[in-house]
Amino acid sequence: MADWIYILNPLRDVLDQEPCDKEKILGLAEEDPEAEFWLSRRNRMVPGDRVWFFFTSPDAAVAAVGEVDEEPRLDSEAGDGSYLVPVTLLTEATKALYRAPVGRDELGLGQVRSVQKVKPAALPLLLERAGL
């Protein structure tokens, strides 16, 4: 199993035509936790991997987590070579992270890409804050 950081910029990223901010993802986790997220490239995600959602603003922090349901697949509707990955948001862990997010400094993130692996030193803190 691998752990991934997925970067969301609420000023740019949308889900169901709404800004993809912490409140939107928390609401999904509580009401409809199965979602698909866009990837610019396939990555090597497999079922069971965790996806930690890092919100770039207003406070740069991880405030949600989900589990990969299926390997990423080509987004045939987009026609641009992008992928979709089905993820189930973990409701209780997302609630815990929403209340006590893990900040950028705590994660030791340098340059931020759309998706990257969690640094091994940051994983224990993420798991603790999420109650996992």
pLDDT at 70 over 90: yes
Alpha carbon of 50 to those of 80, 115, 116: distances in Å? 26, 12, 12
pLDDT at 19 over 80: no
7 near 104, Cβ under 8 Å? Answer: no
pLDDT at 13: 66
d(CA 83, CA 79): 10
Q: What is the mean pLDDT of the chain?
A: 89
What's the pTM? Answer: 0.92
Question: Which one is the CATH code of 3-130: 1.10.10.10, 3.40.109.10, 3.40.50.2300, 3.10.590.10?
Answer: 3.10.590.10
pLDDT at 11: 61
- Under DSSP, the state recorded for 118 is P
pLDDT at 25: 93
- Smallest CA-to-CA distance from 95 within 30, 50, 41, 31 is with 30
pLDDT at 75: 87
pLDDT single digits (tens) 82-114: 889 999 999 999 999 999 999 988 988 777 667
pLDDT single digits (tens) 3-18: 999 998 776 666 666 7
